[in-house]
Amino acid sequence: MVYVCVLLYILFSWTRSFFLVSNTYNLTNLNSGMAALTKMQKKNLDSSPDETRTFEKGKIDLANLGDVTIGRGVLEPGWSWEKCIKPIVKTNSCEAPHTQYFISGRLKVVMDDGSIEEFGPGDTGVIPPGHNAWVVGNEPVVAIDFTGLTDYAKKS
């Protein structure tokens, strides 16, 4: 229940900066590139994700809500972007921008500029394009991503 409340707070905080309420039932686009949302939508990542992408030592489940894609990533011990995703996307580093909430496990991220951060349970983070990452320890990383999974791990 706590995770649901935190996720709703994060989602509300994030979307409020992109949208303007034009009337009681209609949200209108505000310089975000997102289509206008005109009705409530509900998806369930546990029972019926719109898409599941699997790759070496991991998977992502996606829910598409108009132009917004929310995903849950599960990365197993031994996963690293360089070993498991780079061969798929064929870029020097991850080019996806991430806005994430971490549920479990630990993930170390190194930006192309050399800055380093480690994320764990309860952490939120914004990770710009241009990074490498890997699972630290023996616990799978489970994270919710609000911005970076639309094209993640798709062949280029």
The per-residue DSSP string of 61-108 comes to: EEEEETTEEEEEEEE-TT-BHHHHTHHHH--SSB---EEEEEEESEEE
Residue 101 pairs with which residues in a beta bridge?
Answer: 124, 144
Task: Name the average pLDDT for the chain.
Answer: 84
Could you give the 3-state DSSP secondary structure of residue 154? coil
Report the CATH number of the 43-145 domain. 2.60.120.10
pTM for the structure as a whole: 0.77
| Helices within 23-155 (DSSP H only) | 81-84, 86-89
Q: What are the domain boundaries of the chain?
A: 43-145
The predicted-structure confidence for 63-80, as pLDDT tens digits, reads as follows 999 989 999 999 999 999
